[in-house]
Every structure is written in structure tokens, then in C-alpha cells.
Chain A
Amino acid sequence: MAAERQAQVAATVEFEHVSKRYPGTQAGAGAAVDDLSFIVPAGKICVLVGPSGCGKTTSLKMVNRLIEPTNGRILLDGVDAASRDVTDLRRGIGYVIQQTGLFPHQTIGENVATVPRLLGWTPARRRERAEQLLAVVGLPPATYRDRYPSQLSGGERQRVGVARALAADPPIMLMDEPFGAVDPIVRERLQNEFLRLQEDLAKTILFVTHDIDEAIKMGDLVAVLQLGGKLAQFGTPEEILAAPASDFVARFVGADRGLKRLSLSRVRDLALIPAVTGRTGDDVRTVRDRILADPFHYMLLVDDLNRPVGWVHQEALPADGALVESMTESMSPLLDPRTTLKDALSMLLDADVQAGIVVDAAGAVLGLVTAEMIAERMRSGVAGSGA
């Protein structure tokens, strides 16, 4: 990817008092989009979320001017979109729609190479680019390149839609419910793959969804819209969950927002409790003091590489001798520092133990995490939100 990338990697997108009133609606009736202002910094994903009909699609289409705003301006890297040549503007903005809009009469390869063809790339370069992108979205080019869209599953078509939008390496991407038409499992996978892709691409992305969970997961920033096209709140997912700006936002994010917040934090964000450990082969007498200092009189037995073996209770310790594996009575779930707190909590509850053991990539103990710590974190965030 890196070699292919052009100078312009991302651009800021700025809505400046943007309104849209469709012709034919009476003066008294509400606008589709009402005085929308926000800034998406270059390289960030901004999710527009809100109930059906709140103006998400309208907002998105004003960026590539499929719809012209009634008032206000949209600035792309400081330049008013309205001042740009419209086809030129559109060829520089990736566009993914829910129904995918793939061209049924063109092969997958041709579909992906659409914008490069409009831009006049040579056939060889187009073909190369299409194959590269199909591989990026996880569709082996040899298998898929010459098929037609009707010969693909819904999830595969959505990947092709994303590949097509990326084809000319646009600095900005507009994605209107791009993973809407697939089942939850495939959606989850597409979301994860896309987030991983975005780590490399670092495009500026406007992403529309009506699913708050998807918004929280995908967004660096979230714009919550309410009916009438008004911006109810704009901020990071964390800010919106911790302190909803209004009753509407609080209701929209749901009563379980404390739990939802847990999916935003990871185990590495917690101050881990240091574990009382003893190494196999250590003299029992040297560890007895340490084990008695633990509130539950437990100690974690580890091997030579500091990898956990199991828990030892002080009653299992003989008067003297060396620590051996047979003294252990139980084990805890092992957690990766990248595990979300939501997943960590459910693992702890499932395993019915007090503490999980956090280990690094080599399996060495980093510390302990308890269900109580996670619950405490959840309470501290929701308290003071005023809801």
C-alpha cells in the first residue's frame, strides 16, 4: 500500500453551519439537516449516528455534493466543496453505500477499477490496483476478479464496495451504513478488518450508522443527530457515554451505557494489582511471609520464565522444602492487555474467580485484574454524568 499512496493521505472535513431544506417542504416544517457544525481532523473516523430520518445520509451526500446544502459550507482541507469541479471532487472522495451499488454488468475487477478508469489510468495499472485492493479486503484476486457481482455473497459484495471506494486512494471516504446488509457475525468481522485497515490507511472517514454500538466501536468521534437534523452531541465515544449532553442522547445510547463504556477501555488502561508470586523450586520458608501478607493468603506460582502455573494457598505449603507444581489448587483466566474490559469482566464472571492474570505476549505475568476493579471503573464513569 505504502508505495502506491499519493502525497495526500487525509484531509480535514469541516461542517460550517450546514443546513438542508428539501424543496417542497413548507417553511414551517423542520429541515432535514439543521445548522450542523463540527470538525473531523485528518485521519479520523467520525460516525454520524441517530434514529432513522434524522438526516445522516443527507449530511453525507452534501460532502460529495450529491445534495447541495441550502445554507452553510463544507470545507475539505479548508477549501469549500462548492467551489470545486463536481466530478473532480467526487473522484477524490471514496463512496460506499449500503446497497453497495456495484455495477451488475461489470466484473469485480472492473468494478474496483471504476474511478481509476475515470481518471484515465492505463489498463495495466488499473488491473494491478484492482488485484492489490481485492487482496487487501480479503478476496483472493484470482478467484474473484472475473466474477460478476451477482455471483458474490452479501458480505463479499460489501468488501468489493469498500475496495472500489479505496481504488484511487482518496483522502476522504464517505460510508453510508457500509456493513448494514449483512448478518451480525459477518458485520463484526468486516468492522474489525476495516479498523485494522484504517490503522494503515489513516483516511478521514465519515461513517453513517443507526446502530449506537457500531458508532462506539468504529468512531474516533461520534456525532449524534436527532430528528430535524440537529446535532445533539459531538465528541469521543467515551465522552458521549460518560456524559450524555441531553435526555435524548442518554436514551439513544441506552441504559446500559456503563457496560458499553467497558468495551471502550482495555485491560492495559487499568492500574494492575501486582501479583504475589513464587517460582517453582523456591524455598517454602522464604515465601511464607509474602503469602501471609496477601489478604486471601494466596500466591501465584510461576515458572522460570515468569509464566503462571497456578494458585497456591498458604495451607498447602509444607513446613519446608521447595515449591512444586502439585501444591497449586486452581488457575485463573489469562488476559491479554488488549482485552476490552467488557470481555474481561465476562471472562471473570464465567470462570467464577476473583482475579484474572494479565500476561504479556510471551506469557509472562504482568499483574492481576479483579471484577471489583472493573465494576469500580464502570461506576466512576457514570457517576456525575447527571443522567
Chain B
Amino acid sequence: MRADEPLLDWTWVGSHLDDIAFRTAQHLALAGIAVAIGFAIAFALSIWAVRNPRIRGPLTAFAGGLYTIPSLALFAALVPFTGFSILTAEIPLVLYTQQILIRNIVAGFDAVPIDVLEAADGMGYSRRERLSRVELPLAVPLIVTGIRLAAVTMIGLVMVLTLIGDNFGGLGLFIKEGIQTFFATKVYVGAILSVTLAVLVDLILVRVERRLTPWAAARAQGGAAVTSAATPARA
């Protein structure tokens, strides 16, 4: 980078607003798709694991194993099968969400107090009613925690997608180009916007959680906190 260059070249920013908007939206979409598909899969697997204690161990071990595969190796392994398509971009992302999401969703269901479950059974809830009306609402705080972690992690990981081509980098592409052309403004724009995106998404999800769990807010004010929710371990 040239020494006399200003930190941010505002003229460049002003003339590339369209480009910036497009890549920000693309970034968000790539991360959003991964979290959405990842959540659908993780939710189904978690419910299966909650109902069948025997598959819990293997499932969490498998999801944890996926998380340890280096992303570069995974992209490289997929290219022969899926080329430089969006599948090559999203498959690794979705796989990486599994460890975070499954852990938190299962922890969410585990955190439902046993006496609450017993009361529900004793009063004549069917299995489905109990799941949808008692367990799921009470698991929401930890489920949302999982989604937040997954979303922030994915917003970071999308940067790496420039590896498989300029079509999938989102804001990461600015950083790659900035470094290649020694143009600091591009690097800063990419970095600042991706961090902002992560923070904003996280704040929005916190809001959503509050909306979904008015009772938890009441508990915080009430002071009579009786919480047994497990803090999820992070990888």
C-alpha cells in the first residue's frame, strides 16, 4: 500500500455504492442460506436425538468431527463433484453450522426442567402437544443462542468463499481485491462492513429472542430466578 494514501478513499466509496450494496446483500444471503438450511437439518436431527438417547452420543460426535475439517480441504474435496457452483460454497457452510446448532438445540431441550415434563405428562399432554407447547417454547433461549453463534460464524466464513471464485465472496472479495491491488480502502470497507453485519444480525436475533420469551424477562425482573439452562460449550 502506498504511504500517502488516505485511510478511506471516499471518492471510491461514493462511486461504488452499488457494488458495496450488492456484495453486502450477497454476503448476507450466503450466510443466511447456510444458517437456514443448517437449522432445518440440525433441528430435525436434534429432535431425533432428544427422543432417542442412544443416538445422541454418535450424533454430537459426528457434528463435532465435521467442525474440525479445515475449510480449505473441504472446498478442495468438493470441487471435483460440484465444480465452482453455489453448492461447493454452501455445503461446507451448512456442515459447519451443525456442530453449533445441534449442541445448542439439544442443550435447550435438556434444560427443560424434569418436573415440568412430568406435570405435562401427568395432565394428559400427548407427545406432540408436549413437544410443541412445552418443550419447544422452553428451549427457545438456547436455540436462539445457537442461531446467533451460527450466524456470526457464517458471516465470518463467507469471506473464505473467494477461494472458489469471485462469484461467492460477498464482502470477502473486497478484501481479496484490496490486498491484490494494494488498495487499503477496499480492505477496510470489506472488514468494517462484515463486522457491522455480524453485530447487527446478532442484535436483531437478541430482539427476536426477547419477543419469543416474555417470561424470561419477567424472571429477570422477578429476581426469583430458578434457571438450570446449561451454558453451551463452544468449540
Q: Which residues of A contact B (CB under 8 A)?
A: 61, 64, 66, 86-91, 93, 95, 97-106, 114-115, 118, 147-148, 150-153, 164, 174
Q: Give the CA-CA distance A197 to B133 in the complex, in Å.
A: 31
Interface residues of B, dominant DSSP: helix
Which parts of B113-143 form the interface with A (CB within 8 Å)?
Answer: 113, 115-116, 118-126, 129, 134, 137-138
Asked if A90 contacts B124 (CB within 8 A), the reply is yes
Asked if B118 contacts A104 (CB within 8 A), the reply is no
Contact of B115 among A99, A151, A152 (CB under 8 A): A99
Q: Give the CA-CA distance A152 to B116 in the complex, in Å.
A: 16
Asked if B224 contacts A151 (CB within 8 A), the reply is yes
- Given known A-B contacts A148-B222, A151-B222, A95 and B119 have beta carbons under 8 A apart: yes
- Interface membership of B213, Cβ < 8 A: yes
Which parts of B159-195 form the interface with A (CB within 8 Å)?
Answer: none
Asked if A88 contacts B124 (CB within 8 A), the reply is yes
Collect the chain B residues with CB atoms within 8 Å of residue A102's CB: 116, 119
26 pairs, A vs B, C-beta closer than 8 Å: A66-B118, A86-B124, A87-B125, A89-B124, A90-B123, A91-B123, A95-B122, A95-B123, A97-B115, A97-B118, A98-B115, A99-B113, A101-B113, A101-B119, A102-B119, A103-B134, A104-B113, A104-B138, A114-B123, A118-B123, A148-B222, A150-B215, A150-B226, A151-B222, A152-B224, A153-B224
- Interface membership of B17, Cβ < 8 A: no
CB distance from A182 to the nearest CB of B (A): 14
CB distance from B87 to the nearest CB of A (A): 39
CB distance from A221 to the nearest CB of B (A): 23
Contact of A105 among B115, B118, B138 (CB under 8 A): B138
Contact of B116 among A61, A87, A95, A101 (CB under 8 A): A101
Q: How many A-B contacts if CB must be within 8 Å?
A: 83
Which parts of B201-235 form the interface with A (CB within 8 Å)?
Answer: 213, 215, 218-219, 221-222, 224-226
Collect the chain A residues with CB atoms within 8 Å of residue B215's CB: 104-106, 148, 150
Number of B interface residues at 8 Å Cβ cutoff, please give it.
Answer: 25
- Given known A-B contacts A100-B115, A103-B134, A66 and B122 have beta carbons under 8 A apart: yes
Asked if A101 contacts B124 (CB within 8 A), the reply is no
Asked if B126 contacts A148 (CB within 8 A), the reply is no
Asked if A105 contacts B213 (CB within 8 A), the reply is yes
20 extra A-B contacts, CB within 8 A, seeds A104-B219, A151-B224: A61-B122, A66-B121, A66-B122, A86-B124, A87-B124, A87-B125, A87-B126, A91-B123, A95-B119, A95-B123, A100-B119, A103-B116, A114-B123, A115-B123, A118-B124, A150-B218, A150-B219, A150-B225, A150-B226, A151-B218
Collect the chain B residues with CB atoms within 8 Å of residue A86's CB: 124
Q: Give the CA-CA distance A326 to B151 in the complex, in Å.
A: 91
Contact of A91 among B118, B124, B225 (CB under 8 A): B124
- Given known A-B contacts A104-B138, A118-B123, A147 and B218 have beta carbons under 8 A apart: yes
